[in-house]
Structure 1
Amino acid sequence: MSQINKVLIVGAGIAGLSIAIALRKRGVVVEIFERTPELSEVGAAISVAPNSARVLLSFGFDPKRARATDAGPQYEYNKDGVVVDSLDLRDIVRDVGVPWWFLHRADLQFELLRIATSDRDESWGPPAMLRLGFNIIRVDCDSGVIVSDKGERFQGDLIIGADGVKSVIRQEITGRMDEPSVYSGHSAFRSLYNIEELKADPELRVFVNEIKMEDWVGRDGRRCLLYPCRDNTLLNLFAPVFWEASQSVESWRANGKASDLAEKFKEFPKPLQKLLFPGLWQIRDRNPVHGWHKGKALLIGDAAHPMLPHQGQGGAQAIEDAASLPIFLLDTPPDMSLAARLQRFEEFRYPRVTAIQERSRQQKEGPKQREDSEAWKC
């Protein structure tokens, strides 16, 4: 079989940095190519359930450095503000012996970057090389060569496409242009709030009087999810609503008005209405990708299995990909071909990620659904 000594990773998000760490731990030389000229603090919060927290800890992840907030109780309210369900996530943590964190996505990304690029012990490979401002536009799957928009060529033993839902590498592997993503019927308003400022407001301090997750659920899929992050200094808001006007827009972001959101939640308690002044983010959907690999190229994360957000497992499944792949690449019989190893990886991961994709499509997650979900239990 061909030796995997050098791997080129396209994309420096959660998936790309996680697989860089996992391979570097096994002594592999890793280069990461990121289209943007710098990694900036963008995005909102992310729930890191025990299935992914377990993997992160094995990487040497430092939750204090990443300013993680430990999960607490979760409450579900109806539109009248009455608690209809609850679940203490700390009970799950005690049962499985692994933390459950709320993190700002940027804090997670920068901690992964630190692990990927800093000096480690001798058993690890050299620090990953991060190449910023490299827009990869083409990959030769047979030769393991990627080409930038400036004509620069780089070669590795394996190319990993971790370039997200609009993956360029996916098009090269499948040999066809992507079908347009399908509007899921929902858009989400997202925002972050300074918790100290909320505490100073008599009407809003109720949302931050303890470390908790609140899930306000109304009719027609209207929902508002609140939870803290960044050492309990920021409150994350995620409010998916049915939004017919957005169906024709091929974008994950669109302009939204606070008045539009207020109209959707006008039956909810006034303190919650007062909180709702964020921007609109479309929830778009893609069908599962069949065929994650071709030649010396492989897809992971959202490039292979984009997720709707209702299970909170998009980032977690990318991290699970990273934990699994080195086993199939490096712990296989010496006569096994690269194609066979990559196919075994896909066959191992495909049932789990597609089941979570489908569950996310069907389900609007609350405490009961979170308790029943198998996703976080890996």
Structure 2
Amino acid sequence: MSLYEGLDVIVVGAGIAGLSAAIALRRAGHKVQIFEQSDLNNELGAAIHLSPNAARILLPWGMDPDRGRFVVAKTTYIANGETLARLRGRLPVDLHGELKRMISNPEAPGPPVMLIANVRVVNHDATAGAVTLADGTTYKADLVIAADGVHSGATEVVFGTKNRALPTDQTAFRFLIPTSVLAEDPETAHFLEGDDGRFKVFMGDGKRIVWYPCRNNEEQNFVGIFQDDEKDMREGKYWNVAVEQNELLEVYRNFHPSILAVLKKATHIKKWPLLFRFPISPWYSSKLVLIGDAAHPMLPLQGQAGAQAIEDSAALAIMISDLTKSKLQANPNLTSERLELFQKDQAAGVAEAVKPYFGDGVPVPKSPDEFIVYNFSHDVVKESLKVLKEHEEARGF
């Protein structure tokens, strides 16, 4: 596909879903423009566990683990947060920066991606394939991808009614601590012994702290998940708010003094509620499609919320990889046809992921090894290519 035959695509949101979609579509020969509300310089205080089902997509796309300062998870340490007694013993990465590098890499295949930050999309026109910014400027494309998360304004346009995100009873703290800061204090330095690639979880009293190194072991990433009784937080009125250290220490006051010594070194702490939304269908309307948390919000467990966003991007790119402007002119329904195929492929995967928890008579993985195979073995590229091939063969192509 030449540079000029590919589709013009607008992506709303430059998170994991949006950047992954831009990379995949660029590789397919489409011209991509991203609109992002933030300035992209705000550190969220969070790395991500990149699971095998996501890594097998990103590595062929040109992801560079060395440039991204990734840390390979070599061991897992799970302990009681109050006593430090071990209960039982993955790839944590600074993914966002590497994805930004990949969209701008001049040596990558396809036309370079245009990323525009500090702009807010206030309106989506599914029929026209257009978005309007807060300053009144309207941009049109052959396809608009809403990848702006659980609060996406495109959901109402696609679904036809409001389907707002709802709170769970869980809230998360997220923050980073420089490894050097922990190493300087004997009370916390022992946690770093043999720590290259160690994924740690401390649990107790219905709370947990997940801790792992990132950025080539230069930073330590922390996620603290707990039940939050604060009404406004439970109702999702606040999102990614900065909090004082004493609030973090109060939540984990019953944890071991060594853990509290670590938490006392936390700065720039962010807190936000963990939200969910009832499943919606369809995920698309005319020239507008939802991916990632905009389509199917998932809790940040096992790295599968981010992985699902990456899988969405790969599947969508495959489904529209051969589309050109001339093909759409010859068959205006082709976009909707392929988006329907994308939804069937990916929605089936999302449904399969929750069967062990909600399905009747569905076998649940009974061991850590079974769970790893179940959770991480899906090959979305292979499956999507198969679905597209079967679809085209059924149409006589």
User: If the TM-score is normalised by the length of the shorter chain, which range does it land in?
Assistant: 0.7 to 0.9
1:94 is aligned to none
Cα displacement (A) at 1:66? 1.0
Cα displacement (A) at 1:178? 3.4
Secondary structure at 2:187 match in 1: coil
C-alpha spacing 1:41/1:253, structure 2 compared with 1 (3 Å): closer
* Correspondence 1:146 to 2:148: no
Cα displacement (A) at 1:22? 0.6
Cα displacement (A) at 1:306? 1.3
* Correspondence 1:308 to 2:321: no
1:142-177 CA distance string (max 9 Å, x none): 121111112211111111111111112222212223
1:352-363 alignment runs, 5 A limit? 352-356=349-353
C-alpha spacing 1:286/1:43, structure 2 compared with 1 (3 Å): farther
Q: Distance in 1 between matches of 2:121 and 2:321?
A: 26
C-alpha spacing 1:267/1:136, structure 2 compared with 1 (3 Å): closer
Q: Distance in 2 between matches of 1:303 and 1:70?
A: 29
1:215-226 alignment runs, 5 A limit? 215-220=201-206, 222-226=207-211
**Correspondence for 2:347 among 343, 346, 350:** 350
* Correspondence 1:231 to 2:216: yes
* Correspondence 1:190 to 2:189: no
1:104-161 CA distance string (max 9 Å, x none): 3xxx22321222123236xx32101112232111121112111111221111111111
* Counterpart contact for 1:311–1:356, Cα < 8 Å: no
* Counterpart contact for 2:275–2:297, Cα < 8 Å: no
**TM-score between both structures, scaled by the size of structure 1:** 0.85
Cα displacement (A) at 1:286? 2.0
* Correspondence 1:9 to 2:21: no
Q: Distance in 2 between matches of 1:42 and 1:349?
A: 28
Q: Distance in 2 between matches of 1:283 and 1:346?
A: 25
Q: Distance in 1 between matches of 2:60 and 2:96?
A: 16
- Of 309-318 and 109-118, deviating more is 109-118
Cα displacement (A) at 1:28? 0.9
Cα displacement (A) at 1:228? 0.5
* Counterpart contact for 1:185–1:247, Cα < 8 Å: yes
* Correspondence 1:214 to 2:200: yes
Matched to 1:294, the amino acid is S
2:43 is aligned to 41
* Correspondence 1:161 to 2:164: no
Secondary structure at 1:204 match in 2: helix
Secondary structure at 1:69 match in 2: coil
C-alpha spacing 1:16/1:142, structure 2 compared with 1 (3 Å): same
C-alpha spacing 1:115/1:360, structure 2 compared with 1 (3 Å): farther
Q: Distance in 1 between matches of 2:358 and 2:228?
A: 16
**TM-score between both structures, scaled by the size of structure 2:** 0.81
Secondary structure at 2:24 match in 1: helix
* Counterpart contact for 1:308–1:360, Cα < 8 Å: no
Structure 2: which 5+ runs fail to align? 360-366, 379-397
* Counterpart contact for 1:160–1:299, Cα < 8 Å: yes
Q: Distance in 1 between matches of 2:213 and 2:353?
A: 24
User: What number of residue pairs does the alignment pair up?
Assistant: 352
2:87 is aligned to 84
C-alpha spacing 1:312/1:154, structure 2 compared with 1 (3 Å): same
Give the superposed CA RMSD: 2.7
C-alpha spacing 1:257/1:41, structure 2 compared with 1 (3 Å): closer
**Correspondence for 2:55 among 47, 53, 56:** 53
* Counterpart contact for 1:309–1:360, Cα < 8 Å: no
Q: Distance in 1 between matches of 2:358 and 2:254?
A: 26
Cα displacement (A) at 1:38? 4.5
Secondary structure at 1:268 match in 2: coil
Q: Distance in 2 between matches of 1:359 and 1:254?
A: 34
* Counterpart contact for 1:32–1:129, Cα < 8 Å: yes
* Correspondence 1:130 to 2:100: no
Matched to 1:34, the amino acid is E
1:246-273 CA distance string (max 9 Å, x none): 3244223346454444344344321012
Q: How high is the sequence identity, in percent, across the aligned residues?
A: 33
* Correspondence 1:372 to 2:371: yes
Q: Distance in 1 between matches of 2:179 and 2:40?
A: 28
C-alpha spacing 1:113/1:258, structure 2 compared with 1 (3 Å): closer
C-alpha spacing 1:228/1:361, structure 2 compared with 1 (3 Å): farther
C-alpha spacing 1:258/1:311, structure 2 compared with 1 (3 Å): same
Cα displacement (A) at 1:348? 0.7
Q: Distance in 1 between matches of 2:370 and 2:224?
A: 21
Secondary structure at 1:288 match in 2: coil
* Counterpart contact for 1:20–1:30, Cα < 8 Å: yes
1:173 is aligned to 158
Q: Distance in 1 between matches of 2:8 and 2:69?
A: 32
Q: Distance in 2 between matches of 1:276 and 1:358?
A: 37
**Correspondence for 2:93 among 81, 94, 103:** 103
Structure 1: which 5+ runs fail to align? 90-100, 363-367
**Correspondence for 1:117 among 89, 98, 104:** 104
C-alpha spacing 1:342/1:135, structure 2 compared with 1 (3 Å): same
Cα displacement (A) at 1:358? 7.5
C-alpha spacing 1:283/1:359, structure 2 compared with 1 (3 Å): farther
Q: Distance in 2 between matches of 1:188 and 1:38?
A: 21
1:186-335 alignment runs, 5 A limit? 186-209=170-193, 210-211=195-196, 212-220=198-206, 222-245=207-230, 246-254=233-241, 256-277=243-264, 278=266, 279=269, 280-330=271-321
Matched to 1:22, the amino acid is A
Secondary structure at 2:59 match in 1: helix
* Counterpart contact for 2:149–2:293, Cα < 8 Å: yes
